């Protein structure tokens, strides 16, 4: 068995301490009996809540020009009520503000992320492929801050990367799982990296090769000093999967900063996925991981088809990156 050592590195204050009694994700009972206490889709949630869908235009600092569709009101069915303690509040941000309407206007749409003062330069003007690597030593040595996309094969990592950078085919995508096989670095605005990674779980590649991908991906997570946050992609069109819960658990146990990006939120095939809508699957996933993390990880609902969440991801990246650079 491969043993990884937690490296000595200075991380920004964006990581989530895993609780000491990590629940066993092997237990089916755990999955079934986990109580849903904190998140509610009900408009009559008892907790003090903030709606993730902003009803008034967002006050956006910095240079990002939001698309016209961004300000459109989401249908009620997309609303998730979040208690204030489950919001992700970036460092150096005072929250909650005194009045509820202000609070609502500062939460990024379709997420639990509070917008702070570090979100400047959230636009993409250039994006280019840099190189493919198979271990952390081979990765670019320019010291730029980076964000890596990981998730099950076929969850939509490469598609979301293309959506984030406003390009159709910068990262290669496929209907067939197992398309991305290396650590692929893309340089954005000559100032930060987005990293596309091979997926875990099912892939139409030999088992030995998949074990190898898992090994070098985790080695990269543990050793890469410029890694600001992992983006763990979770398919919101299907109910929570054990393998994803285990992966989130592994990241938490190793104190690796994580943001959850829920993908395929445009898919609404009711019969096939047990009748649940994407926002219900999101709620179920968040309920299942909540006891593993002392603080709520940031999360964003996305779709590469409609570009839902694209602007919010860029603002989130900007505020993590700017804080990381300053510290």
Count helices and strands in the chain by DSSP H and E runs: 7, 9
- Please check whether residue 306 is in contact with residue 110, taking contact to mean a CB–CB distance below 8 angstroms: no
CA angle 258-6-250, nearest 5°?
A: 45
The whole-angstrom distance between residue 166's C-alpha and the CA centroid of its chain comes to: 18
Contact flags string 298-327 toward ligand GTP, x per CB under 6 A: -----xxx----------------------
The residue with its CB nearest to ligand GTP is 199
C-beta of 255: minimal distance to ligand GTP in Å? 25
DSSP type of residue 107: B
Query: Which residues, 6+ apart, have CB-to-CB distance to 90 below 8 Å?
Result: 14, 113, 114, 116, 118, 319, 320, 323
Task: Please select the residue that binds ligand GTP; options are 157, 310, 316, 321, rule is CB under 6 A.
Answer: 157
Contacting Mg ion within 144-173 (CB under 5 A): 157-158
C-beta of 298: minimal distance to ligand GTP in Å? 19
From Mg ion, ligand GTP, none, interface partner of 322 (C-beta below 5 to 8 A by class): none
- Please check whether residue 195 is in contact with residue 129, taking contact to mean a CB–CB distance below 8 angstroms: no
C-beta of 246: minimal distance to ligand GTP in Å? 17
Work out whether 281 is an interface residue with ligand GTP (CB under 6 A).
Answer: no
Contacting ligand GTP within 235-264 (CB under 6 A): 263-264
Work out whether 179 is an interface residue with Mg ion (CB under 5 A).
Answer: yes
- Please check whether residue 45 is in contact with residue 81, taking contact to mean a CB–CB distance below 8 angstroms: yes
- Tell me the CB-side half-sphere exposure of residue 246, using CA atoms within 13 A: 11
C-beta of 101: minimal distance to ligand GTP in Å? 31
Among residues 152, 193, 191, 145, the alpha carbon closest in space to that of 170 is found at: 193
Region near ligand GTP per CB under 6 A, out of 90-98, 112-120, 167-175, 309-317:
167-175
Question: Which residues contact ligand GTP by CB under 6 A?
Answer: 151, 153-159, 173-175, 177-180, 198-199, 263-264, 266-267, 303-305
């Amino acid at each position: 068995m491969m043993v990884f050592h937690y490296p000595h590195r200075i991380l920004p204050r964006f990581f989530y301490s895993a609780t000491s009694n990590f629940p066993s994700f092997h237990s089916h009972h755990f999955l079934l009996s986990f109580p849903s206490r904190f998140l509610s889709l009900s408009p009559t949630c008892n907790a003090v809540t903030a709606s993730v869908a902003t009803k008034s235009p967002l006050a956006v600092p910095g240079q990002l020009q939001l698309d016209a569709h961004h300000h459109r009101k989401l249908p009620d069915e997309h609303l998730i009520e979040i208690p204030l303690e489950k919001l992700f509040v970036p460092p150096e941000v005072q929250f909650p503000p005194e009045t509820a309407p202000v609070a609502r206007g500062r939460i990024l749409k379709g997420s639990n992320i509070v917008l702070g003062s570090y979100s400047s330069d959230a636009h993409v003007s250039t994006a280019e492929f840099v190189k493919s690597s198979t271990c952390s030593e081979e990765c670019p040595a320019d010291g730029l801050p980076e964000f890596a996309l990981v998730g099950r094969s076929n969850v939509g990592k490469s598609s979301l990367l293309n959506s984030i950078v406003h390009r159709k085919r910068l990262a290669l995508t496929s209907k067939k799982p197992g398309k991305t096989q290396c650590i692929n670095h893309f340089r954005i605005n000559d100032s930060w990296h987005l990293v596309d990674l091979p997926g875990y779980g099912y892939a139409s590649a030999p088992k030995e090769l998949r074990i190898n991908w898992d090994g070098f991906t985790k080695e990269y997570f543990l050793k890469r000093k410029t890694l600001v946050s992992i983006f763990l992609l979770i398919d919101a069109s299907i109910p929570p999967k054990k393998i994803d819960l285990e992966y989130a658990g592994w990241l938490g146990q190793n104190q690796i900063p994580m943001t959850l990006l829920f993908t395929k939120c445009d898919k609404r095939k009711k019969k096939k996925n047990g009748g649940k809508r994407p926002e219900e699957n999101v709620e179920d996933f968040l309920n299942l991981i909540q006891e593993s993390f002392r603080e709520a990880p940031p999360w964003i609902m996305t779709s590469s088809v409609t570009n839902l969440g694209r602007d919010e991801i860029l603002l989130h990246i900007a505020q993590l990156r700017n804080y990381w650079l300053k510290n």
